[in-house]
Amino acid sequence: MESVIEVNNVSKSFGKLNVINQCSIQVEKGSITGLIGPNGAGKSTLFNIIAGVFPPDSGRIVFDGEDVTGLPSNQLFSRGLLRTFQIAHEFSHMTALENLMMVPSGQLGENLLNTWFKPSLVRSQEQEVRQKALDVIDFLKLEHVKNELAGNLSGGQKKLLELGRTMMVDAHVVLLDEIAAGVNRTLLKDLNDNILRLNRELGYTFLVIEHDMDMIAKLCNPVIVLAQGSVMVEGTIEEIQSNPEVIDAYFGTDVS
């Protein structure tokens, strides 16, 4: 299978604290890959390195066959690598629809001169963006809250909206960081279903950090276990759950 993300011997320290230690993983194109591990294993730090939040101290990040080590998040975003957050980052005083319409970069209306001298082009593009946002809302079954202020949405609806943002720019790879946190079981099923639909119908690749093992079991294959900043083991969820090393690593700890 073709790898869309390759992490090659990456290390990262903060002061004297070595968080990621010669870590190497591969994420296959079209997969939903799980990333789990005990508290402090370095999962979020590895996510931040892949997403361009900060560079590694050593090692390489390859995205879609190209070395992107050290590229900032905005450049990776424009290449189709996006991440969501454990705490949703919505514009609370804008509607759900408006939140989605804000996502595409380089819109003509962002330039004041265009609004003066190219108003018809601005309106045309805005209509296209609005229609795409409406299509996303329809896909996610959020029609009933499209005109609701995003700050008034439930935790689960905000996570669905976060997922919708990735659809506004036709993401190739999405990093999901504990997307199930704070979501009730009903909306969690909607999240799972939509992730599967995006994967199967639109070809999205996902890398998922998640503490909910039921969600990992339903969505992810393979599953990578991180411990002390490096890969402990990789396999199916059944292999992971029966592995003595993994059981020992988690014993007396919370999965995060």
Looking at the structure, tell me whether residues 243 and 220 fall in a common domain: yes
| Secondary structure letter of residue 108 according to DSSP | G
In a domain, 63, yes or no: yes
Looking at the structure, tell me whether residues 174 and 85 fall in a common domain: yes
Query: How many structural domains compose the chain?
Result: 2
Q: How high is the pLDDT of residue 106?
A: 65
In a domain, 159, yes or no: no
Looking at the structure, tell me whether residues 177 and 225 fall in a common domain: yes
In a domain, 83, yes or no: yes
Looking at the structure, tell me whether residues 16 and 79 fall in a common domain: yes
Q: How far is the C-alpha of 24 from the C-alpha of 2, rounded, in Å?
A: 16
- Find the length of the chain: 256
Strand partners, 207: 33, 175
Q: How far is the C-alpha of 1 from the C-alpha of 133, rounded, in Å?
A: 33
The domain that holds 227 is classified in CATH as 3.40.50.300
List all residues 6 or more positions away from 216 whose beta carbon is below 8 Å from its beta carbon: 34, 36, 208, 210, 223, 237
In a domain, 160, yes or no: no
Looking at the structure, tell me whether residues 186 and 217 fall in a common domain: yes
In a domain, 99, yes or no: yes
Beta carbons of 88 and 181 less than 8 angstroms apart: no
Q: Report residue 88: phi and psi, to 5°.
A: -60, 145
Looking at the structure, tell me whether residues 84 and 111 fall in a common domain: no
Closest listed residue to residue 70, CA positions, set 79, 78, 61, 80 = 61
Task: Record the tokens describing residue 119, joined without a space.
Answer: 């108003």
Beta carbons of 171 and 82 less than 8 angstroms apart: yes
Domain that holds residue 131: 92-152
Looking at the structure, tell me whether residues 64 and 128 fall in a common domain: no
In a domain, 158, yes or no: no
Spell out the per-residue pLDDT of the chain, length 256, in tens.
Answer: 799 999 999 999 999 999 999 999 999 999 999 999 988 899 999 999 999 999 999 999 999 999 999 999 989 988 889 887 654 578 889 999 999 988 876 666 666 777 777 777 777 878 888 999 999 999 888 999 999 999 999 888 988 898 888 888 878 899 998 888 778 888 888 889 999 999 999 899 999 998 888 999 999 999 999 999 999 999 999 999 899 888 887 754 444 4
